[in-house]
Amino acid sequence: MTQNTELQDVIQVDHLNAWYGDRQVLKDINFSVKKGEIMVIMGGSGSGKSTLLRYLLGLNTPVSGHIRLLGKDITGMSHSELHDMRKNMGVSFQGGALFGSMTVGENIQLPLREHTHLDASTMQIMARMKLEVVNLAGFENLMPSQLSGGMIKRVALARAIVMDPKILFFDEPSAGLDPVVSAELDEMILKLRDAMNMTIVVVTHELESAFKIADRITVLDRGEILICGTIDEVRNSNIERIHNLLNRKPRQDVINVDEYMQRLTGK
Amino acid sequence: MKYPETEKNGFMVISLTGEVDLNYSPVARQQILKCLKQNKNLLVDLSLVEYIDSSGVASLVEGFQLARQQKQFFALVGVSRAAMQVLHLARLDKVFPIFDTIDAALASQ
């Protein structure tokens, strides 16, 4: 790999392994995301995609493997180094994770108050600009409890981008939304990438959304990467488990009788 | 640090350069507001801006609003492609008076 290529890799994951107790939830994960690229991480429930996101955000420390963001290894970073790194990262959580006791405007301004010393009027204008971007102009004084699910997602996105991050992580943008709002969010993700050249990682299980926004797709299954490739490469893959995912076929697991009985009886 | 300021036909021109981000936008804001508070008509030249973030754009918004309140002329000139994309994102390209060159802005008055 040339140095130039390495510089272009905004996210680089090398041999990442993770366990919850005795259970290995991520198995030798390797992939990279280039500047301005939209990488969609797909997989069914329990595939490990949300866990992978936690590691990318530096919320979990891997037992083995490395994660480099913007060329810096976050696996060995101190709390303050991670704090600095997070100025370059925006996260839109699945449930929005808005503070219920704060207005929409206060929620969006929170990263600015935490990480900058900008003038209060500048912060206010920045937050209102982001509300314009997510088509929620004039909603700044509402409380999160007064918003619909789609609005909460959009406020969470506004907060995630208020610092103009170099990397945006978006967990399940479409989950629980009607198709129109979902399509609008997809458009917003594309618009943000084009205007800000943001590197974007979207975790989703929505096929339609993934195929619309992705430059490349990483498909996870039971903690393993089945494929990491372009939309066409994923669509044309011969891997059966990818076919099942794309065709929404239920899993046909082979049952190990000994293991199954041990799980039920504990013996 | 201070951005270059020049005067042309009675208009002040502030030329922003390089990356107008969280580190430098407070400087831009201070210069823009100071100039407007001196009752000068203002052109902000963005032709040498490589990147402008939301804090930089917010400084322009604040300046434009002050100019409107004080009935002064305020315009952006030579908006680079990078800057235009950021303005476009919040539809501010339809809000600010924008001219290709300083001369074109002056000729509009």
**Per-residue pLDDT tens over the stretch A23-43:** 889 999 999 999 999 999 998
Residue A27: strand, helix, or coil = strand
Q: Does A127 contact B at CB distance below 8 Å?
A: no
pLDDT tens-digit profile of A113-126?
998 999 999 999 99
In the numeric block, the tokens 């300083």 are attached to B102
Q: Which A positions 37-96 lie with beta carbon below 8 A of chain B?
A: none
- B-chain CB neighbours of A160 within 8 Å are none
Res A2 pLDDT > 60: no
Determine the distance in angstroms separating the CA of B34 from the nearest CA of chain A, rounded to an integer: 15
**CA dihedral for B36, B39, B44, B45, sign (positive or negative):** negative
In the numeric block, the tokens 């430059």 are attached to A215
Tell if the CB–CB gap between B53 and A125 is shorter than 8 Å. Answer: no
The residues, any chain, with a CB within 8 Å of residue A55's CB and separated by 6 or more, are A13, A16, A18, A26, A62, A67
Of the candidates A188, A201, A193, A247, the one whose C-alpha atom is nearest the C-alpha of residue A228 is A201
Is the ipTM value over 0.95, yes or no? no
Nearest-angstrom CA–CA distance, A165 and A215:
19
Q: Does B25 contact A at CB distance below 8 Å?
A: yes
Select the residue of A122, A132, A163 nearest B91 (Cβ to Cβ).
A132
Determine the distance in angstroms separating the CA of B109 from the nearest CA of chain A, rounded to an integer: 28
Confidence of residue B86 (pLDDT cuts 50, 70, 90): confident
Q: Does A190 contact B at CB distance below 8 Å?
A: no
Express the helix, strand and coil content of chain B in percent, nearest 5 each: 45, 30, 30
Select the residue of B55, B88, B89 nearest A122 (Cβ to Cβ).
B55
The residues, any chain, with a CB within 8 Å of residue A122's CB and separated by 6 or more, are B25, B26, B29, B55, B58, B59, B62
Mean pLDDT of B60-65: 95
Select the residue of A116, A122, A163 nearest B29 (Cβ to Cβ).
A122
Of the candidates A116, A98, A115, the one whose C-alpha atom is nearest the C-alpha of residue A107 is A98
Q: Mean pLDDT of all residues in chain B? A: 92
Domain borders along chain B are 5-107
Ranking A138-147, A237-246, B89-98 by mean pLDDT, the lowest is: A237-246
Determine the distance in angstroms separating the CA of A151 from the nearest CA of chain B, rounded to an integer: 17
Among 3.40.30.10, 3.30.750.24, 3.40.50.300, 3.30.70.20, name the CATH number for the domain at B5-107: 3.30.750.24
pLDDT tens-digit profile of B30-51?
999 999 999 889 999 999 998 8
Q: What's the CATH class of domain A3-265?
A: alpha beta
Mutation target among B22, B59, B79 for the A interface, most CBs of A within 10 A: B22
Q: Does B105 contact A at CB distance below 8 Å?
A: no
Is residue B3 within 8 Å of residue B17, measured between CB atoms?
A: yes
Tell if the CB–CB gap between B89 and A192 is shorter than 8 Å. Answer: yes
Reported pTM: 0.85
Gap between the terminal Cα atoms of chain A: 50
Strand A9-20 with A23-34, pairing: antiparallel
Domain borders along chain A are 3-265
- B-chain CB neighbours of A116 within 8 Å are 22, 55
The identity of residue A160, as a single letter, is A
